Structure 1
Amino acid sequence: MPQRIVVIGGGIVGVSSAYFLSHHPTNPAVTLIEASSIAAGASGKAGGLLALDWHGSDTSSLAKLSYRIHASLAEKHNGRERWGYRELDTLEISCEEGKKTNKQRAGVPNWVHQNVITKVGTLGSQQSTAQVHPRRFCETIIQESNNLDVIIGHATRIALDDNETLQGVEVELDNDTKIIEADVVVVAAGPWTTRLLPSIVISTQRAHSVTISTNEPVSAHALFTNIKMKSGSVVTPEIYPRADEIYACGDVDNKVPLPKLAKDVQVDEGRCREVIKNVSVVSDLLENGKVNVMQACYLPYSEIGPGPSIGWVPGMKNVAVATGHSCWGICNGPGTGKVISELICDGKILSATIDTLDPARYIK
């Protein structure tokens, strides 16, 4: 059994892996290495939607496991209070800017303009969709891990000896470089994974989002919108109310390459203002609320796909990877952490069927 496990990446996949490894009965020593800060990337800037049954066959088993784990962790660690876990009704609404109708549509929350809506559909109920505040989740799960050592430093390479045997992880700490020794390494570095593991090719897209505070509570709904603007353009922002704010995000772009670190991500405030303008069509709360944050992050997409890559890295002994979750990292992160802990400490994955996510598919 491994005694020293190093997890690279402080997003939800890395944090969840560290949590379940630290709680495993074999009691390994677990070190988490993060280059910027916990949840500095997409895991701190995502909407936090959880969906039970929106996934293809490759990830459906993992998604169902993860959805259950989200609920159980919220129960165990008071997640409703600590990271905003709650069930949602999820709607798809079509709107037209400037449209005036008197039609009342059942199921539409009272904070949404009825008169601009042209169509409403149901995507999920409180039995199949939920939400978390992702950054708060990550920060809390770190606190609830057993004897976890967290190092803020830039992991630059997987260190092997002359016989290709794993030594550990080379880390830049301030102006110094050192090797953090390990029996097993888990790379959960999201879009930065390829820089440590060139054989695991991850592509990226940048996503912008905003959070808006309101003066009144907002119902537990998630909205997927299709809005025809007066200009004739069609935009599709997503809106996720939380207990104390509303999160909204827009389309992705490829205009700026992935930076060295998550803390270096550039924010295009013009794109954020476009999100605010677009969602203002839907609700006065969004038009008149106070903008708290304009932010951006990069989503990791597995080049092989479909779905993420989870398992042992081909050609590297005792190195595992968990990455490429695209927009479903928050949803499927806890399940990924659980199966990674089983793979490493039990020798096989017990809780989900994820054979088609094996990184060996990269080797032709």
Structure 2
Amino acid sequence: MSTVILGGGIIGLSTAYYLSLARGPSPAIHIVDSAPALLASASGFAGGFLAADWFSPSVASLGALSFRLHRELAEKHNGPRRWGYAGSHTYNLSIDERGVAGKSTGKQERKDDWLREGTSRAESAGSNPEANGRRDAGGGDGGGEGEVLNPDGSPAVWTPQAGGTLETISGPENCAQVEPRELCEFLLDECTKRGVEVHLSTKATGIITDDNGVLKGLRLQSTNNAGEAGAGELELECKDVLISAGAWTPRVFKALFPQSKLLIPVEPLAGHSIVVRSPRYKTPFVNPTKRRIGGASDDWRCYSIYCAPGRHWSYAPEAFARLARNGETEIWLGGLNDSSLPLPELASDVKAMIDPESIKSLRKMTVQLAGLAKEGDQANHDDLETVREGLCFRPVSKRGTPVLGKIPEHYLGVRPGGGGVWLASGHGPWGISLSLGTGLVTSELISGQKPSADILGLLIG
């Protein structure tokens, strides 16, 4: 019998990908998504930052596994050209000494709740021998081919800040970037080649059991006919069900198990972002040391920058000078979050909720960080081309870490038989970074294999 994956974001796609690798071409894997198209929220509009060691102890093993899998996938399938995989120099920007608290020691306690608190992600940075003790803004390589530098040696993609200091906190051995939508599209293409079936505009409305109360399938309904009784209904037999619907995961679980007392500890957190092109970032940077990471024959490099709240912004901006397909350059900027925005019914409804005032605030921050500098105290010139504006609803767990594993039978009210009901959600801002590791581990759990990472601290129940 088949496995049904509820949610077609990067976690669901990664799980389907690794399941299909293990099983070979097979129609026994189904992805069900309520929206008319995939990647309408977080997985399609995220920043795409990857880290190897920026995680708390309970997530560290999964984080290291996933970072390795990202690199291996890029090396095998030309990730630099196909979804912009590139190693990343990573900085913390301090303005007027407003920076990451305790960063000088490298031993501060990592915070899994930095996103909720509105502080900088750089507080989670791991101890990286390549970066320790360094303050060189140029990443230590003196500027690569095609790279334009500021007078202070920092990459010209970032505008020098009065009273600001760039601190190198990690390098391309430990950090990388991808264009998330293009990575997801690759995974989807590989899945469909192996017979994975995708059901769009479809939601799960209930479970089906046999005469002994054992789970044997799901009731599905078309979201195009949701207001018509009995319209678009079908049944899909399965042995295993994975709920990986991102911020919508608690709703999906409640629809299937309305009598359950289990409260899925995942909440939605909205975040706006914009993507721009800059005249100072037209070609990929190339590291002259030629350490080919991720299979890039050109050895492309990206830049990430994190900022604490300060006099120019009340939130903690994140900016990624990244690549898209075939080395197309762009800058993603975000960090402006809003916990008050309600989660819509469908991911496809998110676009209409983009707030013009939030985008205006982001644009001002973007010009401050990446606009053309003017002399003196004049505001930077806005010479940036807008590529797109976005809004993500990220699934943030109450404990600050992902929630993975098999849901205990006593929470379901049905017997799972030889399969089970599984959960993979709550990744917050780390969904892209942890995606491949989560997909592999979840596929192993469903297949009855020992997981490749230690996820004991992430299990539910």
Regarding TM over 0.5, the answer is yes
Matched, 1:221 2:303: yes
SS in 2 for 1:88: strand
| 1:187 alignment counterpart | 243
SS in 2 for 1:288: coil
SS in 2 for 1:206: strand
Deviations 1:52-97 (A, max 9, x none): 000001110000000011011111222111111000000011237x
| 1:278 alignment counterpart | 365
CA contact (8 A) 2:136 2:168 kept: no
Deviations 1:169-195 (A, max 9, x none): 322223312122211111100111111
Which whole-Å CA distance do the structure 2 matches of 1:218 and 1:114 have between them? 20
Question: TM-score, normalized by length of structure 1?
Answer: 0.90
Which whole-Å CA distance do the structure 1 matches of 2:246 and 2:5 have between them? 12
Deviations 1:218-252 (A, max 9, x none): 6411011236436xx54421101122211100321
| 1:5 alignment counterpart | 3
Which whole-Å CA distance do the structure 2 matches of 1:115 and 1:292 have between them? 24
Listed as ranges, the gaps of 5+ residues in structure 2 are 97-134, 139-153, 226-231, 255-261, 286-301, 324-328, 373-380
CA contact (8 A) 1:95 1:227 kept: no
The one-letter amino acid paired with 2:358 is: R
| 1:326 alignment counterpart | 428
| 1:69 alignment counterpart | 69
CA contact (8 A) 1:209 1:247 kept: yes
| Aligned counterpart in structure 2 of residue 293 of structure 1, from 365, 388, 392 | 388
| 1:99 alignment counterpart | none
The one-letter amino acid paired with 1:167 is: K
| 1:80 alignment counterpart | 80
| 1:201 alignment counterpart | 265
**TM-fit CA distance, 1:158:** 4.2
Listed as ranges, the gaps of 5+ residues in structure 1 are 97-103
| 1:240 alignment counterpart | 320
Query: Structure 1 residues 218 and 80, CA, compared in 2 at 3 Å: closer, same or farther?
Result: closer
**TM-fit CA distance, 1:105:** 6.2
**TM-fit CA distance, 1:297:** 1.2
CA contact (8 A) 2:13 2:188 kept: yes
Which whole-Å CA distance do the structure 2 matches of 1:83 and 1:281 have between them? 28
Which whole-Å CA distance do the structure 2 matches of 1:116 and 1:235 have between them? 19
**TM-fit CA distance, 1:127:** 0.4
Which whole-Å CA distance do the structure 1 matches of 2:218 and 2:386 have between them? 40
Q: How does 1:112-123 map to 2 (within 5 A)?
A: 112-123=158-169
The one-letter amino acid paired with 2:435 is: G
SS in 1 for 2:247: helix
**TM-fit CA distance, 1:27:** 6.2
| 2:200 alignment counterpart | 152
Matched, 1:124 2:124: no
**TM-fit CA distance, 1:117:** 4.6
Aligned residues: 347
| 1:359 alignment counterpart | 460
SS in 2 for 1:130: strand
Which whole-Å CA distance do the structure 2 matches of 1:111 and 1:26 have between them? 44
Q: How does 1:87-126 map to 2 (within 5 A)?
A: 87-95=87-95, 106-107=137-138, 108-126=154-172
Structure of greater Rg:
2
Which whole-Å CA distance do the structure 2 matches of 1:239 and 1:284 have between them? 13
Runs of 4+ residues over 6 Å off in structure 1 = none
Which whole-Å CA distance do the structure 2 matches of 1:115 and 1:253 have between them? 27
SS in 2 for 1:282: helix
6-15 vs 147-156, which moves further: 147-156
The one-letter amino acid paired with 2:80 is: R
CA contact (8 A) 1:34 1:151 kept: yes
CA contact (8 A) 1:7 1:185 kept: yes
**TM-fit CA distance, 1:163:** 4.2
Deviations 1:251-272 (A, max 9, x none): 2112221111111111112101
| 2:274 alignment counterpart | 210
**TM-fit CA distance, 1:167:** 2.8
SS in 1 for 2:446: helix
CA contact (8 A) 2:206 2:220 kept: no
CA contact (8 A) 2:137 2:167 kept: no
Matched, 1:137 2:137: no
CA contact (8 A) 1:58 1:306 kept: no
Which whole-Å CA distance do the structure 2 matches of 1:164 and 1:153 have between them? 29
Matched, 1:268 2:355: yes
The one-letter amino acid paired with 2:44 is: G
More strand by share: 1
| 1:100 alignment counterpart | none
Which whole-Å CA distance do the structure 1 matches of 2:283 and 2:309 have between them? 24
Which whole-Å CA distance do the structure 2 matches of 1:117 and 1:34 have between them? 48
Which whole-Å CA distance do the structure 1 matches of 2:23 and 2:82 have between them? 26
The one-letter amino acid paired with 1:81 is: R
